Structures are given as structure tokens and as C-alpha cells.
Amino acid sequence: MSQPLCPECRLNLVWQHQGYFCLHCERRAIKHATCHDCGHPLESLNACGATSYFCAHCNELKSKSQALITYTLADKTTE
């Protein structure tokens, strides 16, 4: 599996606090999985350490290799 990249600066994302984070942009990255057949969002199914996906539009289970994975940056929050 390749290292996920920030969609804005194209640097590696790091796993931090249960999610991906771009240290350069200082923003959280949100993972999206879409069906390679129809382009609709996939529902993530996690069991026994393995991740599969379900497409409600196609009404089928999809493997990780059948999912198109993209990342978007979340809005910056002020603390």
C-alpha cells in the first residue's frame, strides 16, 4: 500500500489521533472511497482487521482494490 499524499501540497500524510494529518498544511485529511464501477460513495466495512466496502448503488461488496481512494483537507479549526 502506498503512502497517502496531501491533495494540496502532495507531501505524505501522517497518521495522527485516529486519522490522517498533513504536517505542512496543518490540516486534517478526510479519506473518501468511491466505487470504480459507478462512482458513488462506498460504505466502509471493518471486520477482523480487514477493510471491505459496500456500494449501495451497485448493491455489491467491493474489495480495497475496487475502491478509488481520495483525500480532501478539512477546514482549519481554531483552538
pLDDT of the chain along its 79 residues, tens only? 578 999 999 999 999 988 999 999 999 999 999 999 999 999 999 888 888 999 999 999 999 889 999 999 998 764 4
* pLDDT at residue 24, rounded to an integer: 95
Give the rounded distance of the alpha carbon of 37 from its chain centre.
17
Interatomic CA distance for residues 26 and 24, integer angstroms: 5
Which sequence spans correspond to the domains of the chain?
14-73
Question: pTM (2 decimals)?
Answer: 0.78
* pLDDT at residue 1, rounded to an integer: 56
Domain covering 14-73, topology: Rubredoxin-like (2.10.290)
Supply 37's cell numbers: 464501477
Give the rounded distance of the alpha carbon of 55 from its chain centre.
15
Interatomic CA distance for residues 31 and 22, integer angstroms: 13
* pLDDT at residue 12, rounded to an integer: 96
Backbone angles phi, psi at 38, to 5 degrees: -120, -15
